Amino acid sequence: MKFTIPDRAALLAILERFPRQQVVMLGDLVADESIYGEIARVSREAPVLILKQREKQVVPGGGANAVNNLADLGARVIPVGVVGDDETGEALLRYFREKQISTRHVARVRDYLTPTKTRILGGLTHWQRQQIVRVDREPAQPLAREVRTGLARSTVALLSTSTGVLVSDYGYGATSSREVDLLRRRGRKGLPITIDARYDLLTYKNLTAATPNEPEVEAAFGQSIGHDLERLHSLGRKLLRRQSFQALLVTRGRDGMALFEARRAPRHLPIFGSDQAVDVTGAGDTVIATFTLALAAGASFLHAALLADCAGGIVVMKRGTATVTLGEMREAVRNA
């Protein structure tokens, strides 16, 4: 990707405003757990590998990953969500505290299981680790209505001092369109509110922007896009109009991104950097974090999308659930 000189100057100016922003993240806090091991031998009990565990790591995932990215991009970020009274919940809270991210508005709920995605990776000594299997642990029961209401009230109380709101709905019940509509009505005019909804995108309306990936758009309308740009344009416009969003940023993997705005032709952004991604885990969280923070800093939708494209291109070249730093973004924009 190449930037014009005016665009480069504008993007660098936006990045300089990142540390002055306060963004609230309301949504599902997920733990991404990685267990690393070395292949020892084949089991005598069954034709499976035996791994000797060498390391276990827990990092923020889902909405918590968006929080982590916002922090590394320089913003003051306030997560609003829940964790269980369990080991992974404590690990997430400890991670945030070590990075000086406030956990004041993160509730610990008894009998609630912190959503956890465990990836088991193995390999021979000095070989690259390969993911063998992923095990997901999810809450057995949805969060009580009063818990969601309490989270929404906490978020409302933060709106007057915040410059942006990011909503991350992974389907674990921390929020829904009902609570987010309350935020929209209580927030001041012009406050950017963005949504990343894994399953219920069509329930959210009248927000600033959404950042679905192409499969999520396909699932919303039950239609396949493939390489059909006309269908992508048709569904993108339909989603923008139906949900009354101001903008829609559709991520398309190695095909880059497509930006939709009312009364504008769709704009396609080529992938930033290499199309040979190392690991796409959590890239969507990086994209919406960067996009939201740029809007909070006063960027146009196009400039916010360009920065999100840069961030996505950087993070997929890193292994595991990763983040992008403000320094990396500055370097990427200067050298693009």
Total residue count of the chain as it appears in this document:
336
pLDDT grade for 260, boundaries at 50, 70 and 90: very high
On the question of pLDDT at 128 being above 80, the answer is: no
Gyration radius from the chain CA atoms = 20
Task: Report which residue type is found at 266.
Answer: P
H-run or E-run covering 153? helix 145-158
pLDDT grade for 246, boundaries at 50, 70 and 90: very high
pLDDT digits (tens, 9 = 90+) for 18-77: 999 999 999 999 999 999 988 888 989 998 888 889 889 999 999 999 999 999 999 999
Give the range of the structural domain holding residue 181, as residue numbers without chain letter: 5-335
Taking all residues of the chain, what is their mean pLDDT, rounded to a whole number?
94
Which CATH number do you get for residue 66?
3.40.1190.20
Which of 28, 32, 169, 285 does the annotation list as catalytic?
Answer: 285
pLDDT digits (tens, 9 = 90+) for 214-224: 999 999 999 99
Confidence (pLDDT) at 122: 87
Q: Is 300 exposed, middle or buried (0-12, 13-18, 19+ CB in 10 A)?
A: middle
Residues 6+ apart with CB under 8 A from 196: 27, 66, 166, 167, 168, 169, 210, 211, 212, 284, 285, 288
Partners of residue 205 on adjacent β-strands? none
255 catalytically annotated: no
Confidence (pLDDT) at 80: 98
On the question of pLDDT at 126 being above 70, the answer is: no
| pLDDT, mean of residues 262-268 | 95
Q: How many domains are there within the chain?
A: 1
